[in-house]
Amino acid sequence: MTDVLLNRRQFLVSASVVAGGMSLALVSRTASAGTVSEADTVAEFSPWLSIAPDDTVTVYVPTGEFGTGSMTQVPMNVAEELGCDWAHVRAEFASARRDYLEGGPYAIGSQPFFTGHGTDHARMPYALQLGASARERLKAAAAQRWSAAVADIQARDSVLTHIPSGRTLRYGEVAAAAAMIALAEEPALKPQSEWTFLGKASPAKLQLPGMVDGSAAYGIDVKVPGMVYAALLQCPVQGGRLRHHEPEAVMKMPGVRAVVTVDRSGTAGSPVTAKATFGLAETAVQSAVAVIADHYWQAKTALQALPVAWDFGEGADWKTEQQLYDDALARLDEPAAMVLREAGDVTAVTTGRAVAADYLTPYCDQAPMEPLNGTALVTSERVDVWTPCQDSQQAYWVAIDETGAAPEQVFVHRTLVGGAFGRRSFSEDVRMVVAIAKQYPDVPVQVIWSREEMMRQGRYRTLIAARMRAVLDAHGMPLTWDARACQAGNPMVSLPLGFADAVYAVSGAIPNVRIGTTRHPYHILTGAYRGPCYNSHAFMVETFVDECAVAAGADPLDYRLKLLADWDPAWSNCLRVAAEKAGWGKPLPEGRGMGIAIANWPMAGMKQAGSTVCAVAQVDVSRDGKLTVHALDVTFDCGRFVNRDAVLAQLEGGVIYGLNMSLSEEITIRDGAVVEGNFHEYRLLRMADLPARINIHFDALSGHDRFAMIGEAPVGPIGPAIGNAIFQATGKRIRSTPLLKHDLAWG
């Protein structure tokens, strides 16, 4: 932490000015930085932080903003220690280019440019320290100005006060001088018990005003002078290729400027070793054609008129999604290719009651509301890209790789993001934008995916099939748990989370465990989907445990409590509180059921880690099979929180996302191509579809000293809680989603 503030454009000119017991070292700018006028210059304290003469504090946030509030959380962390007036705080996007060229000033914590995670366990103390350091430097500058002792100076609400004399200075008045000061020693952070802002206040997102008056700028809102628009069509079957097209047929249509084609051969390659967050393997372009025109509507109209023929490739042999499901399930007949966890010997137990079942969750589309888009201007001098990406470091390296330009020539301008949920992680959309724009050089080109193009050319939730088998002892508790999965996803999104580290596998409650997986991607491209793979595993594991409880004749809540008796008590507490809030155990009328489920992202296998979320669902199923989810009672443990309302918003949104995913989402296939193109085919929940009650309870928070990420975890337990409730209501066990696809009629 000691070199936090050693900006490499500054150097020490004199050391050890002692004021008020604080040892200081003066620093100055290098000659190349030019002369600095205190009156009108924004003072840079660090690549993360600057203070302007008018007191404006700007925090450069590497983690972007797509709705979770990290562009607000990181500045909040800084402000807690800086002691500035929150009204003066702004957030800006940190530059991935600067990070590369200056040796990684933003490379703090894992995936430093990936959106979200404002309370990351490495970044949060770093941001607090930034605030504390800047505060002490401001105090030191004031001490110099007043020839006073630092110890006599108080910093609060962006004002420095010399306590003995009552004199004051605003932060902005000494910021330039303070930025020249380097501390010989970093100040200690205040204990959390002395926080006055974090955990106390829930300020609105800094970007909120623009979101309610239309001025907030998302990627699709970028306007660059002289900009033209492109409409895009990729091969309807992923992996296929453009065979033939007739640009002449549309070149004379209104506004049309060019028709371009895109394929992998056009990728130039990075001139240096790329440092893309997620690598470049999953970012290749699909074969495509695009029309460039003065206006988007003209481009889209011409594209629709463009004669095109494709070679669909091998993917077209898959006639329906059911063929893919059957194939994935058939692969479970073979031993798993990789054993992820093994304890005891699952084959040693030969007697006892067996519970066995297969599960499946389908491809789904993240469907953020802002369609994929991006703007690029490629010239011989430089490459500029404006993108609503999830990770600007990834976007930066993709742009470099596609153009072959030197890293210093490439500028990625991040924008607000109209939802992502994983869809914008890998920046293959950035590659497509650049691949089109570089064929129309010197003119800014904005590429906009139609909703249909985006939905049918997705990077879908990994399709997963799983087979599970348990042998129960005389009391109904599992002696063995043997589980294998087939994950039809690319290696980046074939994750073991919530499966290999499922709590029942690691808690020691089951003596013999074997968990394995086989990766078998099909031609359908996959990507991150809110809580990748965890969101499937939670459904499978929590449904299976419920089946074991039923086979044992046990109450599903008691059964889980028993399995978790020696585990982190916060899990049991989440179960108990959710059950109590929902009225678990009370007699229910015919056709009504209650179900429970619990899961943790991303640390199910560790005590006091990650975020645990428990859900109790109450459903009605009519005799003819109509499902109504009445209520969801949700408890959680992320340790502690620093912004209560932001955590609540993520839980509300995550619960609804999990509900939508489990009830109705499924991408289907005809002759290798995705069927669903828009929201009339791929149903998203609307206000009228919500359960009457979604109750988020804060009562099960453990208070453990962590601020775990909360966006993904709630997506997991909702589906299995509802599925388990359906079983209680109808006696029908649902082992695949979407739940609404099943015939739930009973009686």
Partner 1 sequence: MTVTDNSINAAASASISLTVNGEQHRLELAADTPLLWVLRDHLGMTGTKFGCGIAQCGACTVHVDGRATRSCMMPVEAVDGATITTIEGLAPRRDHVLQTLWLEMNVPQCGYCQSGMLMAAAALLDDIPAPTDADIDARVSNICRCGTYPRVRAAIHRAAAARNGGQ
What is the contact surface with ligand FES in residues (CB under 6 A)?
67, 369, 419
Q: How far is the CB of 419 from ligand FES (least distance, A)?
A: 5
- Residue 160 or 432: which CB sits closer to partner 1? 432
Interior/surface letters 416-445, b for 16+ CB within 10 angstroms, e for the rest: bbbbbbbbbbbbbbbbbbbbbbbbbeebbb
Residues of this chain that bind partner 1 (CB under 8 A): 66-68, 202, 204-205, 207-218, 220-221, 223, 229, 252-255, 294-298, 301, 367-371, 416-421, 448, 450-451, 645-646, 649, 652-657, 678-680, 684-688, 690, 694
> How far is C-alpha 410 from the chain's CA centre?
25
Q: Which of 455, 532, 520 is nearest to 496 (CA)?
A: 532
- Residue 182 or 647: which CB sits closer to partner 1? 647
- Residue 217 or 551: which CB sits closer to partner 1? 217
d(CA 608, CA 238): 42
Q: How far is the CB of 455 from ligand FES (least distance, A)?
A: 13
Judged by beta carbon distances under 5 to 8 A according to partner kind, the member of ligand FES, partner 1, none in contact with residue 11 is: none
Q: How far is the CB of 48 from partner 1 (least distance, A)?
A: 24
In the bound state, the residue with its beta carbon closest to ligand FES is: 369
- Residue 201 or 609: which CB sits closer to partner 1? 201
Q: Which amino acid is at 536?
A: S
Q: How many residues does the chain have?
A: 747
What lies within 8 Å, CB to CB, of 261 at 6+ separation is 242, 245, 287, 288, 289, 290
> How far is C-alpha 608 from the chain's CA centre?
21
- Residue 201 or 554: which CB sits closer to partner 1? 201
- Residue 356 or 369: which CB sits closer to ligand FES? 369
Judged by beta carbon distances under 5 to 8 A according to partner kind, the member of partner 1, ligand FES, none in contact with residue 370 is: partner 1
- Residue 451 or 520: which CB sits closer to partner 1? 451
Judged by beta carbon distances under 5 to 8 A according to partner kind, the member of ligand FES, partner 1, none in contact with residue 25 is: none
Judged by beta carbon distances under 5 to 8 A according to partner kind, the member of partner 1, ligand FES, none in contact with residue 652 is: partner 1
Judged by beta carbon distances under 5 to 8 A according to partner kind, the member of ligand FES, partner 1, none in contact with residue 558 is: none
- Residue 274 or 685: which CB sits closer to ligand FES? 685
Tell me the residue ranges of DSSP E strands in 267-409.
Answer: 288-293, 308-311, 338-343, 353-361, 373-378, 383-387
Q: Which residues pair with 412 in a beta bridge?
A: 385
Q: How far is the CB of 364 from ligand FES (least distance, A)?
A: 17
d(CA 560, CA 545): 8
d(CA 465, CA 737): 11
Q: What are phi and psi of 339, to 5 degrees?
A: -90, 120
Q: Which residues pair with 360 in a beta bridge?
A: 465, 736
Q: How far is the CB of 530 from ligand FES (least distance, A)?
A: 13
Q: How far is the CB of 248 from partner 1 (least distance, A)?
A: 15
d(CA 117, CA 273): 27
State how far the alpha carbon of 691 is from the alpha carbons of 266, 629, 731, in Å. Answer: 50, 5, 22
Judged by beta carbon distances under 5 to 8 A according to partner kind, the member of ligand FES, partner 1, none in contact with residue 396 is: none
- Residue 133 or 415: which CB sits closer to partner 1? 415
Judged by beta carbon distances under 5 to 8 A according to partner kind, the member of partner 1, ligand FES, none in contact with residue 528 is: none
Q: Which of 586, 458, 471, 479 is nearest to 524 (CA)?
A: 458
Judged by beta carbon distances under 5 to 8 A according to partner kind, the member of partner 1, ligand FES, none in contact with residue 688 is: partner 1
Q: How far is the CB of 365 from ligand FES (least distance, A)?
A: 14
- Residue 11 or 297: which CB sits closer to partner 1? 297
Q: Is residue 656 within 8 Å of 685, Cβ to Cβ?
A: yes
Q: How far is the CB of 652 from partner 1 (least distance, A)?
A: 6
Q: How far is the CB of 369 from partner 1 (least distance, A)?
A: 4
- Pairing assessment for the beta strands 228-234 and 445-448 based on DSSP bridges: parallel
Pair of tokens at residue 274 = 């790329």
